[in-house]
Structure 1
Amino acid sequence: MASFKDNLAQFPTAQTDLGWEGAGPWDYRKVPEPVLSSLLASVAKANTSASVDIIDFQPQTGQSSEDRYIVQDWHFKNGTWKLLAIFDGHAGDETVKHVAAYLPGQLQSALIDLLAKSEWRIDPSSISNLLSKVIISYDDFLTKDLYDLFPGGVEELSKLSDDEVKAVIHDSGIGGPNHAKVARCMQGSTVLVSLIDPNRDNIWVASLGDCQAVLGIRSDRKASWDVTILSANHHAALPSEIEALRAKHPGEPEVSLNDRVLGGIAITRAVGDHIFKLDRLWCSKVLMNAEQRFRFHSAKPETLITRIFTPPYLSNEPQVRHVNLAEAKASNKREITFVMCSDGLLDLFDARDESDLRKVAQSWMELGSETKPENPRDPYDNGALRILREGLGGENEDQVAQQLTVEMTGKWLDDITALVYRIQ
């Protein structure tokens, strides 16, 4: 099947190092406008669903994104609720596919039950608790699936040979149901979930990992945006996260190495990633015997397992924020824009800490809130696409062309997903 780059042979070739000192150079195509904007919109899969602008971007040919997003309207007795979610998978796509397929339905069922019991009245704290409970239960279910493969528990597992373990977990080879259960525990995913009530008076955001959600409110187009970061950044490079991790595991100097949990993973909360959650026996006897191997750039799994003493080291408990939007509406705040993104977008804008994100979010709100594109070259009225374009180079067409068409064998950009919803 032909890739989008196969259609660019008509344009001249140049070379770039992508700004990486001592690297490259690599060939790229000098794609002119308006072809460049149309190509970007196509590769980014720019679209609008349920009034939400969406991009899902990975420019490397043949490289599928490990991001997933969900945009759904839930039509309940008390009106239409909106669910927005981004899941950023890592070490493979088994976990991220599963969480995207099952978690939204579990949240929907739990919300229906909660609202029915409360006679369809909204209790913000109850919905915050629901989000946390359902996400934790989802991850606990992955653990139960794994434990159920060996119902005798640790006593049984300790007596089995490696070949006997492999016979259980390699049912039908790679792709069997048991193998899939193990793979979902070996791989992992971040979780960023947002709920908005029918009157758009309330928004809840639950986060695990390093995807981000930002709310912008302003009274008119001449005013600056009042920006609120509604997600947490669960990253092992942050002092607060390291301090919390060390407090839970005193006397374990290797609980954090090189800004990674046990020297292996950069985030401190996720679903999946059970090598950081199970005891040493389950990791060594089951996970290490799986045909699908771990993929860590910073530590060998065999070494990482020797650092396990008091699991879990990775949390499945999300942080949940609630904002009463009715107060902003009542105070004549005429524009409310909400942006969610995977961490790949943060890399484009070099916005890894909270202060940088707040500054960058000002431009995101401006780009995301436009109702019509001011740039006639933009083929889409899509706020998420405009934000992506700015991060890739904005009006610097050559820089955008480099990021879009550079000829490299490996990834030069992380997967990037963004959702933009103009609440008011």
Structure 2
Amino acid sequence: MFTPQSQNCPDPVLEQLARSLIIKCTFSDSNTRNDTRYAYAQFRGTPNEDRFAISEDWELNKHTWQFLAVFDGHGGPNTAEYLAKHFASHLRRSMDFYFSSSLESTTSTVLQSHSAANDNLVIEFTQDNVSELIKREVRGFDEELGNAIKAICPNPERLHDDTEAWMLYEAHKEVIARARCGSTMAGILIDKTEHRMWVCCVGDSSVVLSTKPSGSDRRKTNLLNKHHTGFSPQEYYRVSMEHPSREWNTIWLDGEERIFGTLSMTRAFGDFMFKFPTSFTTALFSKFPSTAMKSVERVLSYNHTPPYVIPDPFVGFVDLTTFTEDEDPILVLYTDGLEALANRLSIARNNGASDATNGNADAVPNAVDIIGALIDQPFDPTAFPSRYTNILPRNNTAFNLIYNLLNGAIPTKLRAHLEFEIKRNTFDEEELYIDDVTVIMVRP
């Protein structure tokens, strides 16, 4: 899309494209923040429904903690926005309570051990204790979204007057919106004191760990979480078995791996149209303006035995002490827009090298392999007009990764998309749609 040759021939359009790209991106700058261990970047689609959160460090029982996460909203940004603003503090408050409490104020699901320092019983930061707390707090956070709906409308079936329903919607738009919309999460909770990490994911956003094995110049990259979509055989089976067999043809409408043919996520925050009876959709959720109104029609037709979507997260544990500094461990948290670009680039490369692979599927890199290979790749500033190089992020690995995938996978579409941002109504907006892409890269 951007070529170094343009430096020798000033091009006003090229400068406009560069300006448009920078405007559509949010990124951290290592020169303007104290903590250089992480970088973040976001390419905002139209409209942008991605959000992210990077908490401040907090101290608890002589341990230093930090939470980082990306959130991919769908149906609107409201649920992702609420999570980005409140989930980290929600988790911190819960940890402060449970890991600083006496036996009387704790729940039986968390193990207790005796502290040698005093006579009070306290809960230790064991792998299982923290994992169980994270699972409980994810479910609890989502439950609060639903309970807020029940509080303002405990009997939606009694709202026979549509005018009354509209008045209720107008009075509680934001509460209804964050329950009506949905969001994924890919997060990590790091115990910096003992160099341990918990991975917490809901939906199809990802956390990968990339390292350089000893004696190798290639990074080894592994996905640390499971995806919760109908494309996962385990999730497809789980959802199917939780509902009567007579519903299978309507849950997976027309053989698609999407619930009612509309929603790919089988686990998510929000999405209470798929969790509550249809009376709530009729009374409240249908009032929320959305481009995904087909979801409302399908829910009203096929939602017989909810819930079809649950919030239960994947939680995993990683002992960071097992990695040496020479291995240069890097964690990458990203929304599925990045994976879509990586898959597209993998297909393009495979088509261009079909003779080399000889039909061997194992020789075709998957999305995680592509992302891992690009982690160390720099962004070439000479590809931009010189007047813009000084405002680009400096040494931002997350921005480099996003740009290299955009320009590698969809260069023509990216240019057309940015031209559309400059001159609206010149192109077909739907054909030039690019999904939001959000990336956080962490060196733990």
> TM-score of the superposition, structure 2-length normalised?
0.75
What is aligned with 2:134? 131
What is aligned with 2:359? none
Distance in 1 separating the partners of 2:166 and 2:417: 46
CA shift, 1:357, in A, is: 2.5
Aligned equivalent of 1:348, options 337, 341, 352: 341
- Pick closer, same or farther for the CA change 1:161–1:11 going to 2, 3 Å: farther
Aligned equivalent of 1:87, options 57, 71, 92: 71
What is aligned with 1:146? 149
Distance in 1 separating the partners of 2:70 and 2:375: 19
Aligned: 1:47 with 2:47: no
What is aligned with 1:311? 306
CA shift, 1:260, in A, is: 1.0
What is aligned with 2:370? 360
What is aligned with 1:283? 281
- Pick closer, same or farther for the CA change 1:54–1:405 going to 2, 3 Å: farther
What is aligned with 1:16? none
What is aligned with 1:5? none
1:236–1:259: 8 Å Cα contact kept in structure 2? Answer: yes
> TM-score of the superposition, structure 1-length normalised?
0.78
Aligned equivalent of 2:200, options 199, 203, 206: 206
- Residues 190-339 of structure 1: pairs in structure 2 closer than 5 A: 190-199=184-193, 201-220=195-214, 222-251=216-245, 252=247, 253-257=249-253, 258-288=256-286, 290=287, 292-296=288-292, 299=294, 301-329=296-324, 334-339=327-332
In structure 1, the residue corresponding to 2:376 is in which secondary structure?
Answer: helix
What is aligned with 2:404? 390
- Pick closer, same or farther for the CA change 1:91–1:333 going to 2, 3 Å: same
Distance in 2 separating the partners of 1:65 and 1:314: 23
In structure 1, the residue corresponding to 2:71 is in which secondary structure?
Answer: strand
What is aligned with 1:158? 157
The amino acid that maps onto 2:52 is: Y
In structure 2, the residue corresponding to 1:249 is in which secondary structure?
Answer: coil
1:80–1:198: 8 Å Cα contact kept in structure 2? Answer: yes
Distance in 1 separating the partners of 2:412 and 2:174: 43
What is aligned with 1:108? 92
CA shift, 1:313, in A, is: 0.1
- Residues 2-17 of structure 1: pairs in structure 2 closer than 5 A: none
- Pick closer, same or farther for the CA change 1:366–1:148 going to 2, 3 Å: same
What is aligned with 1:4? none
Distance in 1 separating the partners of 2:228 and 2:208: 16
- Pick closer, same or farther for the CA change 1:276–1:74 going to 2, 3 Å: same
What is aligned with 1:17? none
Deviations 1:90-137 (Å, cap 9, x if unpaired)? 111222221222211101111222333476842111111121111111
1:136–1:317: 8 Å Cα contact kept in structure 2? Answer: yes
The amino acid that maps onto 2:369 is: K
2:68–2:188: 8 Å Cα contact kept in structure 1? Answer: yes
Could you tell me which runs of 5 or more consecutive residues in structure 1 were left unpaired when the two chains were aligned: 1-9, 14-28, 368-372
2:42–2:399: 8 Å Cα contact kept in structure 1? Answer: no
- Pick closer, same or farther for the CA change 1:255–1:401 going to 2, 3 Å: closer
Percent sequence identity over matched residues? Answer: 22
1:255–1:262: 8 Å Cα contact kept in structure 2? Answer: yes
Deviations 1:16-50 (Å, cap 9, x if unpaired)? xxxxxxxxxxxxx4459xx84x7645532221453
Identify the structure with the greater helix proportion.
2
In structure 2, the residue corresponding to 1:69 is in which secondary structure?
Answer: strand
Distance in 1 separating the partners of 2:298 and 2:395: 50
In structure 2, the residue corresponding to 1:311 is in which secondary structure?
Answer: coil
In structure 2, the residue corresponding to 1:275 is in which secondary structure?
Answer: coil
Name the stretch that deviates more: 229-238 or 345-354.
345-354
CA shift, 1:76, in A, is: 0.2
Distance in 2 separating the partners of 1:99 and 1:134: 12
Distance in 2 separating the partners of 1:168 and 1:200: 53
CA shift, 1:272, in A, is: 0.9
Distance in 1 separating the partners of 2:139 and 2:187: 13
Deviations 1:335-392 (Å, cap 9, x if unpaired)? 110101111111211279997133213214333xxxxx58453742010011012102
- Pick closer, same or farther for the CA change 1:161–1:238 going to 2, 3 Å: same
What is aligned with 2:177? 183
Distance in 2 separating the partners of 1:322 and 1:266: 26
The amino acid that maps onto 2:371 is: A
The amino acid that maps onto 1:422 is: R
1:256–1:263: 8 Å Cα contact kept in structure 2? Answer: yes
1:86–1:193: 8 Å Cα contact kept in structure 2? Answer: yes
Distance in 1 separating the partners of 2:284 and 2:379: 56
What is aligned with 1:6? none
The amino acid that maps onto 2:396 is: N
